[in-house]
A and B are shown apart, each in its own frame.
Chain A
Amino acid sequence: MPLLLKNNSYATDDWVHLSDDDALSQHATVSMKRFGSTEDARNTIKGVRIAPDDNPLDLVDFLVHLKLLVIEFPAFTDGRGYSHARTLRQQLNHTGEIRATGDIRAEQIAFMRRCGIDTFELNRVFDNDQVLLMSQPYPHSYQPSYMQ
């Protein structure tokens, strides 16, 4: 899956996203539910996926060990992940990489960045027109930004 970076270029994603039954491995993420319920997971895993109905505050004691947080957006109209990102940046002072995954539309990228999301796992590469719009941010905003 194409991974969109800060400068709007693409990279390949080398993280493995494990289901709740897959064997644990190092450069991998698990669901927050699995992370919270298995000590093994907490000792091995360096990446956690946060579902819309999860509470990012549950990660407070573990953030320092985690290399990647992935916020899930199962539907582009489900805006819970924006609050998760802001809570992680603002309340938990997290400075590590936060990635968005799921149904992400081009015009949402700028908003997600301002909530503190760094990278984006997309279903497909955006086409040129969409990238054009995306790379022209608003001249200013009325709210503070949590872009890292």
Chain B
Amino acid sequence: MYQYTDHDRAFVQHRVEEFREQVKQFNNGKIDEDEFKQLRLRNGLYQQRHAHMLRVAIPYGVLSSRQLRQLAYIADKYDKGYGHFTTRQNIQYNWPELNDVPDILQDLAEVDMHAIQTSGNCIRNTTTDPLAGAVADEIEDPRPWCELIRQWSTLHPEFNWLPRKFKIAVTGSINDRAAVQVHDIGLRLTRNEHSELGFEVLVGGGLGRTPMIGSIVNAFLPAQHLLTYLNAILRVYNRLGRRDNLYKARIKILVNAMGIDAFKDAVDTEWNASKHHDDTFTTADIELLKAQFSNDLPTANTESSTETTHLNDADVPKQIHSNPFFNQWFKSNTREHKLSGRRIVFVSLKSSDAPAGDASATQMRAIADLADVYSFGEIRTTHEQNLVLPHVAMSQLYHLWSALKQNQLATANIGKLSDMIVCPGLDFCSLANAGTISIYDQINQRFDDIDYQHELGNISIKISGCMNACGHHHVGDIGILGVEKNGAEWYQLTLGGHAGNKAAIGSRLGKAIAKAQVADAVERILQTYLAHRDEAETFHDTVTRIGVDPFKENVYAAAA
């Protein structure tokens, strides 16, 4: 993974000292509320319902075990002993005190971490496929490009005061696990007919109040022009994006208003005038970055422990046949690795004991230790609020599973019903209209049978507490949106959303459903699916085939 240079360290250190001074000036009344708000947001610090919330950057979802241990330390020292992994691969602390934040940032700086630009109207964390560098279906590892974008976007002097936040996602695989179609800029690594590397560039995707799938603004951008082209898009957005209405200020609104052709013309005009100036980079630059990521994994199929039992490296572990629980976990929580003899392992943060995506400091330390033993000290965060150990030896899987189980991290539910995406909701967030964690609990209680979940196959429930859609409800198989009606919490359901290659916005099912009725509604939806599905058809495919009406009929049938 990327190793900070002395320059990088000095930069982050300066940021910490700058913010410490800004907090002091704010406390002394030298900086007003409005100004301090903008400064603290650009260091990830929100004011929330009960307390401040600090969002720490995990660039493109890559963490070292050392960093994860420090995140655990911070959770214990300054917070309530846990952290929350987010839908943009970052981590959030819900209870920091303002005057502790400079010290928290200093502790983060010790392990080459920061909270720069995780909020505010600027370029946010660039996210990517959590399986990058480990998975077989990859055209090119996206992470060196993410690191390039990270550096380009960090305190870019021109783009720190945009009309609104700006989110970039990159995928290097033919299967999009980074939701690039619902980002302000989505980048798909690709090769042309001459095998040259480039990007398909999407623009104007996003969720929130006006969900939209991104449009192709450039079908093949040669890779060496990545930064100059991004510059051109950002400059057009900075100049022309709406600033009169907070809810109409994202780039998707601009692209929609101009039309993709006119928008593309504007970008190309800007790009042609500037492509040989700013932000060019050399082949040597990118090759240096690539080398940092390709060193993560030994090329030989070596073991990382002194396991004496010799197995054929390509075999599945023998416990597959003898232990049905391990078998179940292997099926749902592990994925094929590009190297035979290794396996990608998901660490489920969706046990029913805690809110989705939360990990205690104890769990974080356990995962860090397991990463050292089993995964070359590397962990990934996913935008679905789970973690990944990317490079586990096949012969070590059973040991790892046993250890994960002891820490409530082995719920065999990745991609299944209880692997829900859940925003913090009314319990934490001052923007929310309704609680979400209680809905997650309600659904978990109703459907606690893991065998049934496996029987259902892959299905995604995504829950947002308000129209800002941080829970990505628009792109869930079942989307649940909290709304406020007459002072009570109600829930609007959508069906048929999808975040991957064939991205789609879900369709509204019908009238909002009362809080106590949500699990019932979900149960009826699942009954309808099981009644109609063709053999091993996924929920997504059944909905695509039969439409929303059969589900609607069943859900609202007994309402009278």
Contacts and interface: CB of A to CB of B under 8 A. Distances in A.
Contact of A133 (B7, B22, B159): B22
Contacts, number: 94
Given A83-B158, A129-B30, A130-B30, A139 B274 contact: no
Contact of A143 (B21, B25, B279): B279
Nearest to B38: A77
A44 interface: no
A94 B531 CA distance: 70
B278 A77 contact: no
Nearest to A92: B273
Nearest to B154: A142
Chain B interface size range = 35 or more
Contacts of A77: 38, 121, 161
Nearest to A76: B35
A138 B11 CA distance: 6
B549 interface: no
Nearest to B17: A136
A107 interface: yes
B235 A107 contact: no
B238 A111 contact: no
A126 to B, nearest CB: 10
Nearest to B156: A143
A87 B238 CA distance: 12
Contacts of B154: 142
Contacts of A105: 35
A138 B154 CA distance: 12
B14 A79 contact: no
Contacts of B22: 107, 133
Contacts of A79: 121, 158-162, 238
Interface in B1-44: 7, 10-11, 14-15, 18, 21-22, 24-25, 28, 30, 35, 38-39
A111 B279 CA distance: 16
A139 B10 contact: yes
Contacts of A13: none
Contacts of A87: 235
Interface of A: 52, 76-80, 82-83, 86-87, 90-91, 105, 107, 110-112, 114-115, 127, 129-130, 132-133, 136, 138-145
Which are the 8 A-B pairs with shortest beta-carbon distances? A79-B161, A111-B157, A114-B157, A139-B10, A142-B151, A82-B158, A91-B273, A83-B238
Given A78-B243, A82-B157, 6 more contacts: A52-B243, A79-B158, A82-B160, A138-B15, A139-B10, A140-B11
6 contacts: A80-B239, A82-B160, A129-B24, A140-B11, A142-B154, A143-B156
